[in-house]
Chains A and B, each alone.
Chain A
Amino acid sequence: MKALTIAWKDTLIRFRDINALLLMILAPLVISGIMGAAFGNQSATPTISDIPLIVVNQDQGVLGQRFIEALNAGELADLLEPTIMTDAEAAKDLVETGEVRAVVLIPSDFSASLETTQTNDAGQQPAKIMVYTDPAARITPTIVRSVVTEIANVFSNTAIASEITVAQIVEQLGGNNPALANLEPALNQSLPSLTAAQPSAQVQARVISSTSANLDPIAFFAPSMAIFFLMFTMFDGTRSLLVEQINGTMSRLKSTPTGIGQILIGKLLGTFLTGSAQFVCLVVSSSLIFGLDWGDSIAGLALMLVAFVAAATGLGSVITAFSRDLPQANLLGSMITLLFGFLGGNFFMIENFPQWLQILSKLTVNRWGLDGFSDLTVRGLGIQDVFLEAGVLLGIALVCFTLAAWRLPRRFAR
């Protein structure tokens, strides 16, 4: 009960501090708005090319090969960098390890299905082209899925395919996405050349892990900035233990019949409450101001919020526990916040990082937080799809709190 009183006191103090509120709420919203506006301008943004993907062609006929040729046609060759493999499982493993963005699996009955459909056999199941994507990546799998879907449509119906416009594809992907600047010329050149050669047939291209794509830059930057500034709050909250020590209120707390365990739990709980309230404020504000859709899964959002705030609080408590004094804790906290922000992909799309840096970024709570929130907001996934990210974050929290539970009482008890 006393821990709750301490936690509430800290939350109250934090939310009364105008400077803190500027950093907690206003700064992330303003920066998200600025970044969103800046990256919404395609001409000013970098382009994506040479997206690594693997094509596994199990087709017994010739149309599978045609499909591969379509992926390599014209300027699509600049956009995509397909590699042919025969072992589907090995290819999927490469996606799981993040070495390639996507695997396109052409089934063994691809040609047969097209030919059968051409003879109007109503009982024949349509061929399914499977696309496996890296859940950690956000932009490039969506591009691959769209390209594959459109090519599959071309195979399925020449009449429809001949009317496909790049505008449609770009629209599917979210018109403001800065990463798509070079997609338009590539598809403009490639799609018309395909339409003449293909048989007219009904093919259902099915994309695994496909979701509605929402690539508004705000959808990336709002969670990113929320995570980045939440880290400041979390570190600042745990540092308040040292501030209380300097101001004499820690000694006074210890002179009351309140155990050191209750004091420490109260302080950490206060940081957790403050961070949670900050995130809820940011979600509501960004929805109202930017019209940002945070996804349909309230439970998923809540799980990610709890997991991320817990991990950041844990990290902050470790910094506080092992810092020599307040200046050192301030320095370490700021350094880690900035380092994790950049490395964790709060400012840049992670898929633009080199492979080794992408792996390194998984050492940060920011990366796991961003992946989880992106799953919910950008991809519209559900709670079951963020179990991995939430689990990792809760694991980090557990390790950090264990270390802090060992060190903090020794530091503040006497």
Chain B
Amino acid sequence: MSPIVQVEHLGKQYNAPNGPMAVKDVSFEIQKGEIFSLLGPNGAGKTTTISMLSCLLQPTSGTILIDGHSVTKEPKQVKQVIGVVPQDIALYPTMTAQENLLFWGKMYGLSGKHLQDRISKVLTIADLADRANDKVETFSGGMKRRINIAVGLLHDPKVVYFDEPTVGIDPQSRRRILDSIKQLNTHGISVLYTTHYMEEAQELSHKIGIIDHGELIAVGSQEQLTQLVGQHDLVQFEIDPTAANLDATLSALKVINDVDQVTSSPEENLITVQTRNTNAILPQLISQMTETGTPIKSLTIKAPNLESVFLHLTGRALRD
């Protein structure tokens, strides 16, 4: 299987030569028919990377080939084979869904019956055929997201980039979007998906690239990535928000034998402990938290997953 996307040593420096490096030496491949997720926290460089792959930003270094075409030398050919679903709702709200699709279809060079057929098809995919003649401004957030996706599919692209398409929408709409991406993939469309939701990356992806501070720190299937962590579980405590001495609790947990990492997320009232010997140290963890005045509201033990991988590789929780 030949790659539809080839990225080699990609770099982007804003305001060169002294500006910050938003993307540093990133390399990965997406095979035809594959769903590849770029997983990382906000500000990790996901959108910058996708912008360079969409011919919207000029790379500072490295090469990108899409279906064999260079994004810098053959942008027009590249744009014919990619579909872009931006993070923002990039639509005209006072136009109807049908009018928006008609306009964007023409921008992709479609016309006539072929365009009408494609509009009908993507409206069906978006499950919005019955709202085609309603103005987009009357749609819910989830419906807008789905039309936003439909626009990216109009010209039947070989690879579609989804830039955090589920941000800020309700669980039902998120489920529809994830299902429609999987459905697309069954038709052979390759997908580049960026997200900071570990669960989405796990559910969708054939391959995952973990990106942080502009660097791709690990690439592989979910199984390959979790192997990096070994048999480390994540023990997650939901704590009382009134906990008096969180710092003392964290310090006390870190010195317990077999504890590898301890992180906290005060906004979510979570303390996460990474350990390879959960059963043995669990009583100590609970007693230390009690002694340091941090009441426990609930406790979750997670087998190694992408969050463990991120914690293992960066020393930080994915949501930090």
C-alpha spacing A252/B107, complex, angstroms? 10
Q: Cβ of B91: which chain A residues have Cβ within 8 Å of it? A: 249
Q: Which of A13, A254, A256, A414 contacts B104 (CB 8 A)?
A: A256
User: Would you list 6 pairs from A and B whose C-beta atoms are within 8 A, ordered by A residue?
Assistant: A5-B103, A247-B88, A248-B89, A255-B54, A256-B107, A257-B76
> When the two chains form their complex, are residues A255 and B92 in contact, meaning their CB atoms are under 8 A apart?
no
Q: Which of B58, B76, B79, B151 contacts A414 (CB 8 A)?
A: B58
Given the contacts A9-B95, A414-B57, A257 and B108 also touching, CB distance less than 8 Å: yes
Q: Cβ of A9: which chain B residues have Cβ within 8 Å of it? A: 92, 95, 103
**B109 in contact (CB, < 8 A):** yes
> When the two chains form their complex, are residues A254 and B56 in contact, meaning their CB atoms are under 8 A apart?
yes
Return A37 CB to nearest CB of chain B, in Å. Answer: 35
> When the two chains form their complex, are residues A255 and B103 in contact, meaning their CB atoms are under 8 A apart?
no
Can you list, as one digit per residue, whether each of B80-94 has a CB less than 8 Å from chain A (1) or not (0)? 101010111111101
Return B150 CB to nearest CB of chain A, in Å. Answer: 13
Return A277 CB to nearest CB of chain B, in Å. Answer: 17
Given the contacts A5-B106, A257-B79, A257-B108, A252 and B94 also touching, CB distance less than 8 Å: no
Can you list, as one digit per residue, whether each of A325-339 has a CB less than 8 Å from chain B (1) or not (0)? 000000000000000
C-alpha spacing A252/B80, complex, angstroms? 13
C-alpha spacing A13/B137, complex, angstroms? 13
> When the two chains form their complex, are residues A258 and B107 in contact, meaning their CB atoms are under 8 A apart?
yes
**B313 in contact (CB, < 8 A):** no
> When the two chains form their complex, are residues B56 and A251 in contact, meaning their CB atoms are under 8 A apart?
yes
**B22 in contact (CB, < 8 A):** no
**B55 in contact (CB, < 8 A):** yes
C-alpha spacing A255/B106, complex, angstroms? 13
Q: Which of A13, A248, A254, A257 contacts B94 (CB 8 A)?
A: A13
Q: Cβ of B92: which chain A residues have Cβ within 8 Å of it? A: 9, 13, 249
Query: Closest 3 A-B residue pairs measured CB to CB?
Result: A248-B88, A248-B90, A252-B90
**A17 in contact (CB, < 8 A):** yes
C-alpha spacing A13/B80, complex, angstroms? 27
Choose among A247, A251, A255, A258 the residue with the greatest number of B CB atoms under 10 Å from its CB: A255
Q: Cβ of A255: which chain B residues have Cβ within 8 Å of it? A: 54-56, 79, 82, 84, 86
Return A253 CB to nearest CB of chain B, in Å. Answer: 6
Given the contacts A5-B106, A5-B107, A256-B108, A251 and B90 also touching, CB distance less than 8 Å: yes
C-alpha spacing A414/B107, complex, angstroms? 18
> When the two chains form their complex, are residues B106 and A252 in contact, meaning their CB atoms are under 8 A apart?
no
Residues in B62-113 with C-beta less than 8 Å from chain A: 76, 79-80, 82, 84, 86-92, 94-95, 99, 103-104, 106-109
**A2 in contact (CB, < 8 A):** yes
> When the two chains form their complex, are residues B90 and A247 in contact, meaning their CB atoms are under 8 A apart?
yes
Q: Which of A2, A12, A17, A251 contacts B107 (CB 8 A)?
A: A2
Q: Cβ of B89: which chain A residues have Cβ within 8 Å of it? A: 248
Q: Cβ of B103: which chain A residues have Cβ within 8 Å of it? A: 5, 9
> When the two chains form their complex, are residues B56 and A16 in contact, meaning their CB atoms are under 8 A apart?
no
Tally inter-chain residue pairs, CB-CB below 8 A.
58
Residues in B230-250 with C-beta less than 8 Å from chain A: none
Can you list, as one digit per residue, whether each of A39-65 has a CB less than 8 Å from chain B (1) or not (0)? 000000000000000000000000000
Residues in A1-28 with C-beta less than 8 Å from chain B: 2, 5, 9, 12-13, 16-17
Q: In terms of DSSP, what is the predominant structure of the interface of chain A?
A: helix
Return B36 CB to nearest CB of chain A, in Å. Answer: 18
> When the two chains form their complex, are residues A248 and B86 in contact, meaning their CB atoms are under 8 A apart?
yes
C-alpha spacing A255/B79, complex, angstroms? 6
Return B59 CB to nearest CB of chain A, in Å. Answer: 11
Which chain A residue has the least Cβ–Cβ distance from B161? A255
Return A12 CB to nearest CB of chain B, in Å. Answer: 7
Return B156 CB to nearest CB of chain A, in Å. Answer: 14
Choose among B82, B86, B99, B106 the residue with the greatest number of A CB atoms under 10 Å from its CB: B106
Return B133 CB to nearest CB of chain A, in Å. Answer: 14
> When the two chains form their complex, are residues B88 and A12 in contact, meaning their CB atoms are under 8 A apart?
no
Q: Cβ of A251: which chain B residues have Cβ within 8 Å of it? A: 51, 56, 86, 90
Q: Cβ of B82: which chain A residues have Cβ within 8 Å of it? A: 255
C-alpha spacing A256/B58, complex, angstroms? 16
Which chain A residue has the least Cβ–Cβ distance from B80? A257
C-alpha spacing A13/B94, complex, angstroms? 7
> When the two chains form their complex, are residues A17 and B94 in contact, meaning their CB atoms are under 8 A apart?
yes
Q: Cβ of A258: which chain B residues have Cβ within 8 Å of it? A: 107
Q: Cβ of B87: which chain A residues have Cβ within 8 Å of it? A: 248
Which chain A residue has the least Cβ–Cβ distance from B87? A248
Can you list, as one digit per residue, whether each of A238-263 has a CB less than 8 Å from chain B (1) or not (0)? 00000000011101111111100000
Choose among B80, B92, B109 the residue with the greatest number of A CB atoms under 10 Å from its CB: B92
C-alpha spacing A291/B90, complex, angstroms? 45
C-alpha spacing A17/B92, complex, angstroms? 12
Return A2 CB to nearest CB of chain B, in Å. Answer: 6
Return A267 CB to nearest CB of chain B, in Å. Answer: 13
> When the two chains form their complex, are residues A16 and B94 in contact, meaning their CB atoms are under 8 A apart?
yes
Given the contacts A5-B106, A258-B107, A252 and B86 also touching, CB distance less than 8 Å: yes
Given the contacts A247-B88, A251-B86, A12 and B95 also touching, CB distance less than 8 Å: yes
Q: Cβ of B57: which chain A residues have Cβ within 8 Å of it? A: 414
Can you list, as one digit per residue, whether each of B97-132 has a CB less than 8 Å from chain A (1) or not (0)? 001000110111100000000000000000000000
Given the contacts A5-B107, A13-B95, A256 and B79 also touching, CB distance less than 8 Å: yes
Choose among A2, A257, A414 the residue with the greatest number of B CB atoms under 10 Å from its CB: A257
Q: Cβ of B88: which chain A residues have Cβ within 8 Å of it? A: 247-248
Q: Cβ of B107: which chain A residues have Cβ within 8 Å of it? A: 2, 5, 253, 256-258
Q: Cβ of B108: which chain A residues have Cβ within 8 Å of it? A: 256-257
Return A19 CB to nearest CB of chain B, in Å. Answer: 11
Which chain B residue has the least Cβ–Cβ distance from A9? B103
Which chain A residue has the least Cβ–Cβ distance from B55? A255
Choose among B55, B80, B103 the residue with the greatest number of A CB atoms under 10 Å from its CB: B103
> When the two chains form their complex, are residues A257 and B109 in contact, meaning their CB atoms are under 8 A apart?
yes
> When the two chains form their complex, are residues A2 and B106 in contact, meaning their CB atoms are under 8 A apart?
yes
Residues in A108-167 with C-beta less than 8 Å from chain B: none
Which chain A residue has the least Cβ–Cβ distance from B75? A257
Which chain B residue has the least Cβ–Cβ distance from A10? B92
C-alpha spacing A249/B91, complex, angstroms? 6
Q: Cβ of A16: which chain B residues have Cβ within 8 Å of it? A: 94
Return A66 CB to nearest CB of chain B, in Å. Answer: 71
